[in-house]
Amino acid sequence: MSESDDEDEGAEFEVSEEAHTICHLCGGAGFIANPVQAVIGDVPRTIDNGRPCPACDQDGFLVGLVPPV
């Protein structure tokens, strides 16, 4: 492996300076389930279009090491 290959591999991943924890409420998706009843084509159905996660503000992670309390 040459020196230029090492530089290219390092450019693929960025390491954050601060620790992050995946959001416990949304699991990192940034949205949580919000099932609602709807009628589509005269057939009642449940639709889940989701809503923004209030814990992480749609980031999917929490800053720092946050235990699930």
Residue-level pLDDT at 27: 92
**23-33, pLDDT tens digit by residue?**
999 999 999 99
Per-residue model confidence as pLDDT tens digits over 1-55: 555 555 555 567 787 788 889 999 999 999 999 999 999 999 999 998 889 999 9
**What does the pLDDT read at residue 2?**
55
In the chain, beta strands by DSSP E: 20-22, 31-32, 35-40, 43-48, 51-52, 61-63
Enumerate the domain spans of the chain: 18-69
